[in-house]
Structures are given as structure tokens and as C-alpha cells.
Amino acid sequence: MNHLPVSLDLRRRPVVVIGGGEVALRKVRRLLDAGAVVTVVSPTLDAGLARLGLHYTHVERRYAPGDLEGAVFAVVAVGDAEVAAAIAAEAEARRVFVNVADDLERSSAILPAVVARGDVTVAVSTSGGSPLLARRIKANIEALLEPRLGVLASWLRALRPRVRARFGRDAVRARRYWSRLLDGPAAQRVLDGRVELAHAIALGELDATEDARRPGRVSLVGAGPGDPDLLTLKAARRLADADVVYHDALVPQDVLARVRADATLVDVGKRAGGHGATQQAIHAELIAAARRGLEVVRLKGGDPFVFGRGGEEIEALREAGVAYEVVPGVTAALGCAAYAGIPLTHRDVARAVRFVTAHCREGLVRAVASRLSAREETLVVYMALGLARELADALIAAGNPADTPVALVAEGTREAQRVVQSTLARLPTLAERHAVRGPALVIVGKVAALAERNAWFGSFVADTPAERAPRERERVPVFAVSAADVHCHAY
């Protein structure tokens, strides 16, 4: 992030704009809307800017050193690069943030594209790299936001003193109350223009007696395979509302960044060698947190019910009398295969798919002892890097040809994704030859061969016998999104 998004209170504060053209007009309008005391320094004025003359002070001359004295912010909208450089230098010397039009290097501040709905402001910035892209994103957001969203924000703000008086320092109960308003009928009544009815609902809920020690709830949430954009909408809402999040070790930071800023994060991931929290300890933590009245999220990579021990956890919660819910996620097999361009089923070569884990209780050999080719089946093996030789031997012993296609998908759906496509015979040393580290999936079956022509994301390498060099190429997403930052502030 090249620029920290902030919202400045410019009401009754001095701001200087150097320049009087069309660009200056756009900047002045925004500054006046923010309540700034604006001074425009320019020998001439755009016709539109001249019509706003009663709302700002006009100094009818060119820029002179000292014009920024006393200012808290400055905008430069002149066509002369030398003059712009001199103004930027004065701003730096006076420690005044300055926005220089069309000159990112000399700007210490950027004015983002803004969508305003009363007290709700959404600012879109590309760090000055592409104003057109910022405006395109702004237009998309404008189409999504409720026209009366600002009215809702103002209504909620007016309720804050009553809520503070009702709940005092009990942040958990206050947050729960706000969530009920936003998720229930009160907020919708405001958006519908029925503010009086909304107010009656809000006061009724506020005056209702509520046990401060009411047990909370545990949400078992699937974090997906890695790409944070694969979180479901419900998962994102649970992360935004959570008081405490118990997460696995493999949940990436990009997903954890979606958790509410003041929530508590607890890493309970199990690691190689048996290190990490035991399953019984996790059960006890979840139950204790819920009994304290907290909104608890148990965040698991992929889907909670696919090799995630989610079944064991809800059994423990049920026996303890703790309320729970399950929010499914995109399991690693589906997400990684899709990002590798491998269809797990295909009417020509694969009519079934089977998920197994290399660490299943009955042992890997029993889990995979079948003839895949005869059954036109795809096998997806979780956590198989350390047992690749055992897996290959078991499948070949079961009658599968040594040249059965396999694909190794490492860090699937993430920017560092790597796909290595080879054969069952070469699987035992595949990870070592290509320096692949976990997390990784092994996909076995005829569909794995399709990765070579269908791979569309990350990097791909076709591992071939020694007499032929491996064929490697980079893949990029079909839809590439620029690094635009979208910031939403509600007051």
C-alpha cells in the first residue's frame, strides 16, 4: 500500500489551491463540499470557478513563495512543471500535504475518486496510477450502494448516545445490538423511508431485557483454499462480526485480514511433528469462549467438513449445549483443480471423483487400493507430499499403469501457485525434483493430463523423462485486476 487512506476533517481549515483552470475547479468543488476555507491563487479563472467566487478567496496573481503559509493542505493545478516543483518544495519545507495534479512523484497526498451517500464515503484510489480505472470502479460502486445509505448512517449515529447509556463498556452486547439492527427489519425500514417505524423497533430492542451472560455461538467457517476472494459472502460476514477467531496454521494472512480489526486471533493449527493445539484443547477453547457470550469463529482451510475435523467439533459443541452453525467453504480439491485447469470429472475420461487424505486412520494403501483407469475415476489426495512413494506404489500395485497422469498442485489459488504434471511412476521424487513445498494436493487420473493445455493461473511445468527436458511456462489469470485500493468509511 503506497498511500495510507485517511479522511481529513477540513471544516473551517485553510486550504490553498494554486491554479484556476478546469482541474482546479474540480478540486475546489470537493474542498468546499468538505467545508474547507479555500484560497485560490491564479491570475485567471475558469468560468465555472469564477461562478463559485463567493465561496472562496481569490488572489489574482501567479504563485509566490509564502503562499502556503498557514495552510493545512495544498493543491497544485498548474501546467508549468517548474512552478509545480517549487510549490511542492515549499509544501515539503512547511510540512503541508500537497496534491500535484498529474505528478505522482511530487504529490504527498492523493485525492481519490469518491462515492458519497451522506455520512458514508467510499474512496477509490489506484495510488495515482490510473485515474480512469478509479473512476470505473467508482461507477460500479455507485450502482451497488443504496441511495439512502447516508440516511441510515445518520440514523445509526443518532442512536449512539442511547446505546452507550444502555450498555456502557459492554462492547460485546453493544456490538450484538448493532448487528441486530443492521441485519434485521429496522435498517430496512430506514432504507424504505419509514424512519419512525425503524426508530420504534430500535428502541424496543434497546429496552428489551437481555441476559449479559447469554451464551454466544460458534461458526465453523470454511476459509477456502487460499485466495481470499473465494470466501463466501456469509463467511466474510462472520469474520467481520467475530469476537474471537480460532484459525488453522494454513489459513493465509490475506484471509485473516478480513477479520474484524479488534477481534482476537488464536492460531490453533496442527503442525508436523505433533506441535500445536490438541483437538481436545480446541474443543475446550471453543466451548469456553461461547459460554462467555462471544461470537466465535472456527476458521478452517478449505471446507470444515472435508478433512477438517468439523464433524468432531460440532459433536463436542452439541454435547456441551453450545449453539453452532457451519458455513461451507470451497474445499482445496475443487479450488486447486479449478485454478490448475483440471476438471475433476469429464464425460470422456472421468465419471467419478474420490477425495482421500494421506493421513487417514486406516492407512493410505487401503484408502487408494483400487484400479482408477478401469473405473474412470479421479483421485485427489490431501497432504500427500511426504507419502508420495507409498501412494505411487499402492496405485501401481492395484493395477494402474505407471504412465497414469498425475498433477501436483502447490499453493493452489494463491499467487505462488505451481502445477507440476507428470506420471505415476515419477511421482515419488516429483516434489524433490521441482522443490515443491506444502501445502500441496496430488491429483491422479486421466484428467490430470489436461492441465498442460488448460492451465491458466500461476506456473506450470510438464515433468518429462530424463531424455526430454521439462517444459515450463508461466500462466497468468485470464482476468487481471489492477491493484486498486477500495476504502469505505462510515461516520
Amino acid letter, 356: V
Q: Residue 338 in contact with residue 410, Cβ under 8 Å?
A: no
Contacts of 412 (CB under 8 A, 6+ apart): 225, 226, 332, 335, 336, 339, 340, 439, 440, 441
Closest CA to 245 of 233, 232, 255: 255
Percentages helix, strand, coil for the chain (3-state, rounded to 5) are 40, 20, 40
Other CB atoms within 10 Å distance of the CB of residue 96: 21
What is the rounded CA–CA span in Å between residue 169 and residue 174?
Answer: 8
- Residue linked to cell 486421466: 446
Q: Which three cell numbers stand for residue 291?
A: 459460554
The residue type at 163 = V
Cis peptide before 439 (omega within 30 of 0): yes
- Cell numbers given for 232: 463466501
d(Cα 5, Cα 27) in Å, to the nearest integer? 18
Answer left, alpha or beta for residue 405, where phi above 0 means left and psi between -120 and 50 means alpha.
beta
The question of whether 248 is a catalytic residue gets the answer: yes
Q: What is residue 470's DSSP assignment?
A: P
Q: Which three cell numbers stand for residue 250?
A: 494454513
- Supply 70's cell numbers: 498557514
| Under 8 Å between Cβ of 53 and 29 | no
CA gyration radius, the chain: 29
Distance from C-alpha of 66 to C-alpha of 93, rounded to nearest angstrom: 11
Of 119, 270, 393, 446, catalytic: 270
The helix/strand/coil state of 321 is coil
Catalytic residue among 46, 67, 241, 248: 248
Asked if 323 contacts 217 with a C-beta cutoff of 8 angstroms, the reply is yes
Which three-class secondary structure string do you get for 236-284?
Answer: HHHHHHCCEEEECCCCCHHHHCCCCCCCEEEECCCCCCCCCCCHHHHHH
As annotated, the active-site residues are 248, 270
